[in-house]
Each structure stands twice: as structure tokens, then as C-alpha cells.
Copies of this chain bind each other. A is one copy, B any other.
Amino acid sequence: MIKHTIGIDLGGTNIKAALVSEKGEIIKVIAQPTEAQSGAVKVIENIKKVIADIIRYAERGFIIIGIGVGTPGFVNDYGVIIGGANNIPGWNGTDIKTLLEKEFGLMTKIENDVTALTLGEALFGSGSGYKNIICLALGTGLGGGIIIDGKLYRGSQGCAGEFGHIVVQPDGFDCTCGRKGCLEAYASAIGIDNIANQMMKKNESIKIKDTRPITIYSLAKQGNRIAKKIVQEVGNYLGIGIGSLVNIFDPDVVIIGGGISKSGKILFDSIYPSLYKHCLKFYEGKIKLLPTKFQDYSGVVGAASLILKDF
């Protein structure tokens, strides 16, 4: 019998839950508002609700062997969130693993959301068949994940892969982490807003009302000059960051996911010139950027793969 896992992708706005087969096929997806501002207790309640819904759905004959959860923040070896999950009040310190195992009696694994996404893409998605993979998720912030020799690399304290905090511009834009010049401050929804605001500050005739990535990339596709300039600037910094990562890791592939990656070709085209300018010549024209296979569902497949990787 084919085995299945429940994958939970905990976002700041929505919780997505999916029933995923051991082959990485998505059988069923449901979503539920996170209600992050109501705090950790409410968020746990909502997670339990979507899990219960998937279990009910699975009663028609699917065998569930475990639950995987991708969460914002850093996760230690025991599945406890040890920091960095500042978009959900009270979430740091939560032992979600024990709570869910008690409630559902299923093996449960917790991991940083982008780390889990990276694993899912490595096992079943764009990274399938490759050994050494780096992944960047471009959303509100910028997260990263590392696969070394086919296995997840978590770092010594579970905090590896913070590609959003590679310094790409000494004394540059303020970053949410409290530092300056981080990649996230240039190449994320926050970064796009920073770049747009700087352009408006430098030139009063420029007015940008809506700095959301979806708007900027859509305007750029339509040929809007200002939007194109922002897209180019974001691509330039992504090329600097990814160029450094390629020189560090010598990876097989680089995967780009997250909400912003849905803008597609225009984003990838904006990165390559800077990437090939900043990686060692050895890699020029060779290193490939791949979009995630599972796009909006790369988070749930990733979460499920935390369990599936051992089967």
C-alpha cells in the first residue's frame, strides 16, 4: 500500500495542509487563515483543525504515517522553535512537535519552512536527481535551504541557510534583522519596497503608489520604465548573493521559489547578467537557476517530505 503524509505549511497569513503520497503527489490541499495576530495558542488550534480535516478526508482509504510542519523561524533538533518567528506573537519557544504527537499519535517532524521546501524540491521537485542544491525563497523576506550530498544541511544549531542575511552592500539598507546591507533588504517584498522608496527619495518626480512585488513585476512586464529599473536592481543584488553562494558551494543547481518567483521569466532574466558577472568564470553560462516545481505547494510538499525522506 502507498503511504501518505500530512504536510503543513505555516505562513504568516495562511496555513496550508496537504495529503502527500510517498511519491510526492499532492492528493488533497486545504487552507485556513493563520490568525497569527491572535497568538500562538490560536495558531496551534488552527493547525490542529486543518490536520483533523485532512485525517477525516484520508478516512476514505489513505494510510497516514506522519505529520511534517514547515514553520517560520529556527527549529532545534527537538522540533522546538528557538527564535526568528517574529511574525507570530508567542511562537518562539513553542514545542509544536510534542503538542501534535500527543493530539494525533502520529510521528511529527518540524523544520524551518524554507529548509523543508528545499528538501521537498530536492526529493520530488526541480532538484530531483541532484546531490548539492541551494534554494532561495523570495517572499516577504528571503529564506534559504541547503542540500549537501542529497541530505538536508541544518547547521550546528538548526539555523543554516540564512541567505537573506548575506551582506551584499556594506552599510546598505537597514534589514529587519537589525543589521545593514543584507540581501533580504534588497531582494524580497521588503527589499522591493526599500528600493522603490530610495528611488522616490532620490527623484521627487517618481511616484510609486503600490510597491508590492506582484504589481512591480507586472508593471515591468508591461514595459513601465520605473518598474523595470526596480526589477533590474533586485536582480543585480540577487546575482551578487547567488554568485557568492555558487563560489562557496559549487552546487549542481540553484532553485528559486517563494511568491516573487511566480513572476517567472522576467525575474530569472534579471538575475543572470549579475550572477554571471559575480560567480567565478568557471561557472559563467553554466550554472542554472530553476524555479520550484511545486510553486504554491512547494511548502506543503516540503513539510511532508520531512517524514517521507526516511521511507
Which A residues contact B (CB, under 8 angstroms)? Answer: 74, 83-84, 131-132, 144, 146, 148-149, 153-163, 165-170, 177-179, 240, 243-245, 247-252, 277-278, 280-282
Contacts and interface: CB of A to CB of B under 8 A. Distances in A.
Nearest to A144: B248
Nearest to A178: B281
Contact of A179 (B148, B149, B278): B278
Contacts of A170: 168-169, 240
Contacts of A148: 148-149, 153
Q: Determine how many copies of this chain the complex contains.
A: 2
Given A157-B250, A163-B247, A167-B243, 19 more contacts: A74-B282, A149-B153, A155-B251, A156-B250, A156-B251, A156-B252, A160-B248, A165-B244, A166-B247, A166-B248, A167-B168, A167-B240, A167-B244, A167-B278, A168-B170, A169-B170, A170-B240, A177-B280, A244-B244
- The residue in A74, A165, A168, A240 that gathers the most chain B C-beta atoms within 10 A of its C-beta is A165
Q: Is the interface of A mostly helix, strand, loop or mixed?
A: loop
Contacts of A248: 144, 146, 160-163, 166, 245, 248
Contacts of A162: 247-248, 250, 280
A234 to B, nearest CB: 14
Residue with the greatest number of chain B CB neighbours at <10 A, chosen from A154, A166, A248, A281:
A248
B280 A155 contact: no
Contacts of A249: 155, 160
A279 to B, nearest CB: 8
Nearest to A83: B282
A108 to B, nearest CB: 23
A69 to B, nearest CB: 20
Given A153-B148, A160-B250, A248-B160, A280 B165 contact: yes
Contact of A155 (B83, B132, B160, B277): B132
Contacts of A281: 177-179
Contacts of A169: 170
A247 to B, nearest CB: 4
A6 B166 CA distance: 39
A156 B132 contact: yes
A15 to B, nearest CB: 26
Nearest to A243: B167
9 nearest A-B pairs in the assembled complex, by CB-CB distance: A155-B250, A160-B250, A159-B250, A162-B247, A165-B247, A166-B244, A156-B252, A132-B156, A167-B240
Contacts of A149: 148, 153
A83 B282 CA distance: 9
A74 B159 CA distance: 29
A244 to B, nearest CB: 4
Contacts of A159: 250, 280, 282
A119 to B, nearest CB: 16
Nearest to A134: B248
A244 B184 CA distance: 12
